[in-house]
A and B are shown apart, each in its own frame.
Chain A
Amino acid sequence: MTAPTQAPDEAPTAASAPAVRLTGVGKTFGDTPAVQDVTLDIRRNEFFSILGPSGCGKTTLMRMITGFEVPTEGTVELGGVNANGVPPHKRDLNMLFQSYALFPHLNVGENVAFELKVRRSRPKAEISKAVTEALALVRLEGYGERSIAQLSGGQRQRVAIARALIGRPSLLLLDEPLGALDQKLRAEMQLELKKIQREVGVTFVTVTHDQEEALTMSDRIAIMDGGRVLQVDSPEAIYERPATRFVADFIGTSNFLTGTLGGDRLGVESLGNLAVPRGHGLADGTGVHLAIRPENVRLTREEGEAAAGRVALPGTLQQIVYLGNATRYHLTLTDGSDFIAESRGADRSGLAMGEPVWATWDPARSRLLDQ
């Protein structure tokens, strides 16, 4: 399988250096390692997501980029410059806080202008022009005089985005940016954030546990679990070619069959020898997982109905679940394990619950994972 980390670009110069380069970064709190040996590059102007379940270390990793946490191992480079030991207020990056962290004693305009007033003395007219532009960017024209208490959650987030972007940092870190919004607003903001990112040309790094969020917004995603980065790839590659069993399970849904490899066949106890994708490059005798996405599984009544070359396993249909845009079929295989198939739209299979069925798939659409 591919290495979970990405090879650094060759000999970076300041101009071509990645926005962020992490080399062997680790963080231990007391005896508990929160982040271990993370090496990855975040390219300039990309929308990068760090995705993982809660407690996987993604927030700690982000806080080391912002400077709120100091790594116990490794180096953090920002724009080609070692940032270890540089305090947060001297880093050319801003953060969008999950709670927005707007200053309650300042109005909207003063919140947005905050960084310009603190970082450098600028003429008043210039600041107010920048505030107007920043508010226009997040579609809050004319809100400058409002107090923070008068705003809705979605508006507060827009103010926080305007405040974080007014100084045009080279990097914006977003901590669970959509976590506090309701479903509908969330979908709207996903597109909006992506649009803003393209408009201002700032590298966005978002931390999230929501896979849908990461898949829709990101150019690339890093999947984290247990303090380690398991895979860094485009959303499509993460979904189509997961590097580990955890990734295949965490992103979308997968069926797993575990067995021992022998040539182009996988020996699975009490299920037999199944065809696997060709050219996997793994040695015979390796213990591996075969991952099959439910949408790649077809159900038939007879084994013979399956097209040639497809793997077919017998089972019993337990349940049919209608999901609106898809139908999900839960089966039990002959060894007692669960297996899921999915088809688009409503159920047109004519199958009844409790009926014996065959689950079939094209081995080329399954994936072998050795970890």
Chain B
Amino acid sequence: MTTALLAPAGLTVVGLVLVPLLLVVRNSFASADSYGGIQGGFTLANYQDLLDPIYLKVFGYSLGMAGLNTMVCLVLGYVVSYYLASRPPQRQMLLLLLIILPFWTDFLVRTFAWINLLSPGGPVNSLTDAIGFTDGPSQWIPSQGASFIGLVYAFLPTAIFPIYASLRGVDNSLGEAARDLGCGWWRVHSRVLLPIARPGMLAAALLTFIPTLGVFVIPVLLGGGRDQLVGNLIVTLYTEFRNQPMGAAASVVLLLLMVASMAVFGLAARRLRRKTA
């Protein structure tokens, strides 16, 4: 009976996730025909080709960007979450709504909005002109910096929610107790609030780091496609290079990177639980 009830879900997972995944793994060991299609056979050549410094650089750059993005999102996410959690409950709901609001707009549209915001003579440019930081139209797009802003923008809400969730229930008096027991502003955070927010920070890191590795729209639109993330590499291999087996190999490596980082986060989470249990 249970088996019968589970069948639809099981079939969906097998048909839509497992089978395509196994196909990708299978293709990554195949060789390409002259049009870039799958020719069959078994070879490790695709993985060997990925060891080329050009590709290694992409993986290294992706890990670096994902790491940096995660750190910036954690810091900003903590600051925003702390602010949110210390507001009166009614105000918290309103502010949360403002954070969720952009999700109701298509991601692509929001990324295009950044192109307008950052364009020469655009709103950001006018602002920096007004405060004397720049003088006249500035070319910020496409650039690595614009691409990074796009990444932070995309993942900040995802980082805020788990951190906010871990700080929300925290009694105001905990911070006061810390001050009462001799903590200045910094140590109230470092000794009490940050440790309490740690499970949320960990979840936020997981939700930011892993998806960043697979991002491909942002570097194309805001970064001009010069600095590629793994996601861009896969798209390039499949579409421009028309090398399906190698694209599959890159996908498998990305998958392994994600599994590895999940394992690391999982271990960290388990250590944290054991400590507080």
Contact = CB atoms under 8 A, between A and B. Distances in A.
B176 interface: yes
B191 A118 contact: yes
A94 to B, nearest CB: 6
Given A105-B196, A118-B187, A89 B182 contact: yes
Interface in B155-178: 171, 173-174, 176-178
Given A89-B184, A118-B191, A105 B179 contact: no
A95 B180 contact: yes
A350 B62 CA distance: 95
Contacts of A104: 196, 276
A94 B183 CA distance: 12
A147 B171 CA distance: 18
A147 B180 contact: no
A68 interface: yes
A115 interface: yes
B9 interface: no
Size range of the chain A interface in the assembly: 20 to 34
Contacts of B277: 147
A102 B180 CA distance: 12
A66 B52 CA distance: 65
Contact of A114 (B173, B176, B181, B198): B181
Contacts of A97: 173, 176-177
Max count, chain B CB within 10 A of own CB: residue among A66, A89, A147, A163: A89
A95 B198 CA distance: 27
Interface in A61-119: 66, 68, 87-89, 93-95, 97-99, 101-105, 114-115, 118-119
Contacts of A66: 180
Given A105-B195, A105-B196, A147-B276, A89 B173 contact: no
A158 B251 CA distance: 57
Nearest to A107: B276
Contacts of A98: 173
Contacts of A147: 276-277
Interface string B174-209: 101111111110010001100110100000000000
Contacts of B183: 89, 118
Contact of A118 (B174, B182, B196, B276): B182
A101 B174 contact: yes
Contacts of B176: 68, 88, 95, 97, 101
Contacts of A93: 180
A99 B184 CA distance: 21
Interface of A: 66, 68, 87-89, 93-95, 97-99, 101-105, 114-115, 118-119, 147, 163-164, 167
Given A93-B180, A103-B174, A118-B191, 15 more contacts: A87-B179, A89-B180, A89-B182, A94-B181, A95-B177, A97-B173, A97-B176, A99-B173, A101-B174, A105-B198, A147-B276, A147-B277, A164-B181, A167-B181, A167-B182
18 contacts: A68-B179, A89-B180, A89-B181, A89-B184, A95-B176, A95-B177, A97-B177, A99-B173, A101-B173, A101-B174, A103-B178, A105-B195, A105-B276, A114-B178, A114-B191, A118-B183, A119-B182, A147-B277
